[in-house]
C-alpha cells in the first residue's frame, strides 16, 4: 500500500503540473504536501486539485492503473475517463437522466444539456441523426375524426333497416311485440296489445321517440297496471303496431 500511495503522489504531481496547477518546475518540489502548504492557489485551481485527488485515489488506482500507463498520467486519465466502454456509457447517461431544471434560467439549462450531450458523445454514445416530430392541431384532429367516423344505421318506423348492424331476425320491433314499456317522463306509455286498454279509441298518428325517429300509433286510451303491493295505477297509453327499444315518447 505504501508503494501504491507513493506512486499516486508522483502521478498527482505530474497531473497537477500538466493542468498548470504548479507554477514552478516539478523538480523543485520536494513533496506534494509541502508544496501545497506553502503555495496559495486560486479557487479554480483548488477545485482542480481536489478533483485530481478524488479521482485517482485508491479505488480508481486499483481499477485502471496498469504497467503500461504508470508513468503517463495524461494517457492514464484520458484512457479511463474518455474510454468508450459500457461502464462510461452508463455513468454519463446516469448523470444526464438525473439532470434537473432547478431554476427559471432556460438558457443556462439548455447549455448544461448540451454539455452532457457532448460528454456522452465523447465516450462513444451514438445518437439518432434525425428525429421527426408530428404535431396535430385541434383542427386537423377534428377533420381526421370526422373523415374516419361513420354514423351508425338504425331501424325506424317499425321496419328493419338492411344497413343496420343487426340481422332482421334480431330486430326488436318485429320479435318483441308482447312487451310493454312504462316511462314516467313520457306523455304516453306504449303497449302493443289492444286487449289491455279501456276506453280505447282507434286513431292513426305517430309518436316521436328520443332519437328523433317516429313510431306508428293505431290508437290510444288507458291501461290499468297492478303494482307489487296491489295498488292499481291508471296509465294514459298508446297502442303501437310494433314495439321497439324503450324510448321516451311524445304525442304529435
Supply the pTM of this predicted model: 0.26
Of 26, 61, 81, the position where a domain reaches its end is 81
In a domain, 131, yes or no: no
Residue 58 · residue 68 · CB < 8 Å? no
In this structure, what C-alpha cell is assigned to residue 27?
Answer: 523538480
Of 58, 81, 104, the position where a domain reaches its end is 81
In a domain, 246, yes or no: yes
In a domain, 186, yes or no: yes
What is the spatial distance between Cα 224 and Cα 233, in angstroms, rounded to a whole number?
5
- Write out the residue range of the structural domain in which residue 21 sits: 2-81
In a domain, 174, yes or no: yes
Q: Give residues with Cβ within 8 angstroms of 230, minimum separation 6.
A: none
| Strand ranges (E), 38-150 | none
pLDDT at residue 199, rounded to an integer: 84
Positions in the chain short of pLDDT 50: 1-2, 4-5, 20-31, 36, 53-54, 243-252
In a domain, 71, yes or no: yes
Indicate the number of domains in the chain.
2
In a domain, 153, yes or no: no
pLDDT at residue 138, rounded to an integer: 58
Q: Give residues with Cβ within 8 angstroms of 204, minimum separation 6.
A: 216, 217, 218
pLDDT digits (tens, 9 = 90+) for 174-203: 555 555 555 555 667 777 777 888 888 888
In a domain, 226, yes or no: yes
pLDDT digits (tens, 9 = 90+) for 100-134: 877 778 888 888 888 877 777 766 666 665 656 55
Of 81, 106, 139, the position where a domain reaches its end is 81
In a domain, 211, yes or no: yes
Amino acid at each position: 500500500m505504501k508503494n501504491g500511495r507513493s506512486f499516486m503522489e508522483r502521478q498527482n504531481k505530474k497531473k497537477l503540473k500538466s493542468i498548470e496547477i504548479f507554477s514552478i518546475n516539478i523538480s523543485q518540489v520536494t513533496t506534494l504536501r509541502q508544496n501545497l502548504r506553502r503555495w496559495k492557489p486560486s479557487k479554480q485551481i483548488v477545485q482542480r486539485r481536489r478533483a485530481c485527488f478524488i479521482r485517482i485515489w485508491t479505488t480508481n488506482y486499483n481499477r485502471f492503473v496498469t504497467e503500461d500507463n504508470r508513468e503517463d498520467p495524461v494517457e492514464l486519465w484520458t484512457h479511463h475517463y474518455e474510454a468508450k466502454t459500457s461502464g462510461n456509457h452508463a455513468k454519463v447517461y446516469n448523470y444526464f437522466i438525473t439532470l434537473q431544471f432547478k431554476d427559471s434560467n432556460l438558457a443556462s439549462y439548455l447549455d448544461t444539456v448540451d454539455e452532457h450531450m457532448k460528454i456522452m458523445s465523447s465516450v462513444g454514445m451514438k445518437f439518432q441523426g434525425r428525429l421527426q416530430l408530428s404535431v396535430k392541431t385541434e383542427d386537423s384532429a377534428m377533420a381526421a375524426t370526422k373523415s374516419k367516423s361513420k354514423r351508425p344505421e338504425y331501424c325506424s318506423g317499425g321496419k328493419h333497416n338492411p344497413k343496420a348492424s343487426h340481422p332482421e331476425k334480431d330486430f326488436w320491433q318485429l320479435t318483441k311485440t308482447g312487451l310493454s314499456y312504462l316511462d314516467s317522463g313520457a306523455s304516453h306509455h306504449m303497449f302493443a296489445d289492444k286487449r289491455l286498454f279501456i276506453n280505447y279509441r282507434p286513431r292513426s298518428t305517430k309518436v316521436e321517440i328520443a332519437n328523433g325517429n317516429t313510431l306508428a300509433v293505431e290508437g290510444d286510451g288507458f291501461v290499468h297496471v297492478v303494482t307489487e303491493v296491489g295498488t292499481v295505477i291508471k296509465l294514459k297509453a298508446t297502442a303501437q303496431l310494433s314495439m321497439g327499444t324503450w324510448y321516451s315518447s311524445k304525442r304529435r
